[in-house]
Amino acid sequence: MTSPSNTVVLIHGLWMTPLAWEHWVERYEARGFTVLTPGYPGIGQGEAGLQALRENPDAVAGVGVREIMDYLTDYITKLDSAPIIMGHSFGGTFAQLLVGNGLGSAGISIDGARKPSPRCWRSSAAPTRCAPASGSTPRSRGSRRTAPSRPRCGTPASPPRTPGPGTMRCR
């Protein structure tokens, strides 16, 4: 049996900096954890990193998901042991991906986006969405069942929303 990790990596969301985790860092360090808060490429640590980003927002120009994922993967693989990886919002999505790639001993995603099912969601000029699992619109108490208001899979629709757990599926 391996000993649990003593290192926690906190990953911030989009439009945030590592400074978003400052109170979490204090909390976990007070409990004996080593806490790391890597910024995305071009985003430095603490108040100085925030000030530098305000002075030069172009530091993150051209930084996309692939660059962030590569940076975080490199950052974590340099650690002595697999850390606990926690992320918020888009950082939660990175936490899921990193743990899924075997880089973390445990993972926590706080309000992170889920990767949509490729059967339901397509990347195209005409986005698609799926009908609710029940095949009808949500109804309020006492209302009668109505015809589906959302198009079936594969039909053009308004921009997609990420489905919640168990609420959408393809037919």
Banded pLDDT at 12 (limits 50, 70, 90): very high
> Can you give the pLDDT at residue 11?
97
What local confidence, expressed as pLDDT, does residue 15 receive?
85
What pTM does this model have?
Answer: 0.65
Q: Within its chain, how far is the Cα of 152 from the centroid?
A: 27
Give the pLDDT confidence score for residue 85 in this predicted structure: 97
pLDDT at residue 49 in the model: 87
Q: Read off the tokens for 146.
A: 């109505």
Q: Give the per-residue pLDDT at 2.
A: 54
Torsion angle of alpha carbons 47, 84, 65, 71, nearest 10°?
70
- List, in order, residues 6 or more apart from 37 with CB less than 8 Å away: 9, 10, 11, 12, 18, 21, 25, 45
Return mean pLDDT, the chain: 75
Class of domain 7-110: alpha beta
pLDDT-derived band at 170 (thresholds 50, 70, 90) equals: very low
149-167 per-position pLDDT tens digit: 444 444 344 444 444 444 3
Statement: residue 9 has pLDDT above 90: yes
Structure token pair of residue 145: 């069942």
Specify the pLDDT at position 46: 87
Residue 134 vs residue 45, higher pLDDT: 45
pLDDT confidence bin for 100, thresholds 50/70/90: very high
Q: Report the pLDDT value the prediction gives residue 3, as an integer from 0 to 100.
A: 63
Query: Which residues of the chain form CATH 3.40.50.1820?
Result: 7-110
Which has more confidence, 155 or 64?
Answer: 64
User: What DSSP designation does 57 have?
Assistant: G
- The pLDDT tens digits of the residues spanning 25-62 come to 999 999 999 999 999 998 988 889 889 989 998 988 98
Q: How far lies 153's CA from each of 129, 138, 164, in Å?
A: 6, 18, 16
Rounded distance, CA 132 to CA 40, Å?
36
